[in-house]
Amino acid sequence: MLSIFDGLRDVTNLSVVVRLVLAFLCGTSIGLERSYKNRPAGFRTHMLVCVGAAVASLTGQYLYLVLYMPTDISRLGAQVVSGLGFIGGGTIIVTKKKTVKGLTTAAGLWACGVIGLAVGAGFFEGAILATVLVLFTETIVSKLGGRIQHAPEFQIIVHYHDKEVLDRMLRYFKDKKHSITNLQITGTNETDQSVYSAVISLRPGKNMRPDALLSQVQTMNGVLSIELL
């Protein structure tokens, strides 16, 4: 621990002011980056979350150390961590393209609240370092993440008679390391025999082109037709 903070670890008027101001600065620093990127939760939200968490942590210490109440110091902090899940959940949305947005903002809000708890508890070193790492993650690491190449995802529709055909097909995808992200099955009656259709969204394994995958599935017994959507 850094000795320069030793005089501020006790609950005094000066330490309370320093902790709340530091929580304000940490929350604002993280929130400004989110506001700059036009995210749902901006600097005011992060500021309030961090300061509120710091006050909760300080209140637990005050009840136990000053008022001598038989209470658990960490109880209020634990409730803050649980409550942050509801706030963060409000920033997560699913777009029309079925992609999830807001996870980073929700995680940042949660981290901001924990940083506030650390400041309120007097763990200044951990709070400052965590703030720097969160900012590093949301700025530098986010740019690196955008350069990561993801395996392409596509949809196929398969028509077949026997339900066992689908089981063999899914087993084949699993053996070939193809990831299935969505599956929809419908059944229709055609003359005297039922025809089933399965719309499968999948992410193929390495070095597998969609046309090659379609050719392999087409050769399976029981498959009537298959096409790429």
Q: Bridge-partner residues for 200, per DSSP? A: 156, 183
Cα dihedral across residues 96, 97, 98, 102: positive or negative: negative
**pLDDT tens series, the chain, 229 aa:** 777 777 787 888 898 999 999 999 999 998 888 888 877 777 888 999 999 999 999 998 888 888 888 878 888 888 888 888 888 877 777 776 666 778 888 888 899 999 999 999 889 999 999 999 999 988 888 777 666 666 677 788 888 877 788 888 888 888 877 878 788 887 665 556 678 888 888 877 766 677 777 888 888 888 888 888 7
For residue 116, give the nearest of 60, 76, 56 by alpha carbon: 56
Q: Could you give the CA distance from residue 165 to residue 224 in angstroms, rounded to a whole number? A: 10
Cα distances (angstroms) measured from residue 225 to each of 7, 170, 220, 222, 228 = 76, 16, 10, 9, 11
Q: Could you give the CA distance from residue 189 to residue 30 in angstroms, rounded to a whole number? A: 58
Length of the chain: 229
pLDDT tens for 4-21 read: 777 787 888 898 999 999
Q: Could you give the CA distance from residue 47 to residue 45 in angstroms, rounded to a whole number? A: 5
Q: Which two tokens stand for residue 52?
A: 């509120």
Cα distances (angstroms) measured from residue 160 to each of 178, 198, 202, 212, 228 = 20, 8, 18, 19, 15
How much is the pTM? 0.65
CA atoms lying within 13 Å on the CB side of residue 95: 6
Given a contact cutoff of 8 angstroms between Cβ atoms, the answer to whether 30 and 133 are in contact is no
pLDDT at 97: 62
Domains of the chain: 3-145 (no CATH), 154-228 (3.30.70.260)
SS3 41: coil
Cα distances (angstroms) measured from residue 137 to each of 34, 76, 98 = 12, 28, 25
Q: Could you give the CA distance from residue 121 to residue 108 in angstroms, rounded to a whole number? A: 20
CA atoms lying within 13 Å on the CB side of residue 44: 2
SS3 83: helix
Strands 223-228 and 179-190: unpaired
pLDDT at 117: 93
